[in-house]
Amino acid sequence: MTTMPTWAVYLISFGTPLSAFIGTVLGQVLTRQAARELDQRAKHAEAMRMLRWAAEQATSDDERAARVGAELLGTMADSDLLEADDQIFVDAALAAVVEEPVDLYYDSGGTVEILELVATGALDD
C-alpha cells in the first residue's frame, strides 16, 4: 500500500475547495464587470435615441412638438445620461433650433463675417 505525504493530503484537502472558491469569486467579478459595461452601452444607446428624437421634434413644424424637443435637448444637456464627447451633439442640435440662428458668411478674401438672422416669429403665434 502506498501512502501520500502529509503535505499532499493537506494540499488536496484544502487546496481543491479553496481553488474552487477563488474561481467562483473571479467568475462573479468578471460577470459583474461585463454586466456593468453592457448596461452602460444600453444607457448610451437609449440616450442617443432620445437625442435623435428630441432633435427631430425640435425641428418640427408643430409648435408643441418643437417646444417639447427643445426642452428635452436642454434637459439632456444638463443630465448625466450623455458622456462628455456626446455633448457636442446636444450643442449642435440646440444651435440648430435657437430663435436667432447665427450664419457664417465667407467672402472672397477668405475672411469670415458673422451674420445674425432675425427670427421669423413662427413659434410665437
CA distances from 36 to 16, 59, 79 (A): 30, 35, 20
pLDDT value for 27: 97
pLDDT value for 23: 96
Residue 70: how many CB atoms within 10 A of its CB?
A: 23
Length of the chain: 125
Which stretches of the chain drop beneath a pLDDT of 70?
A: 1, 98-125
pLDDT value for 29: 97
What's the pLDDT tens digit per position in 95-114?
Answer: 777 655 445 444 555 554 44
pLDDT value for 115: 46
pLDDT value for 39: 94
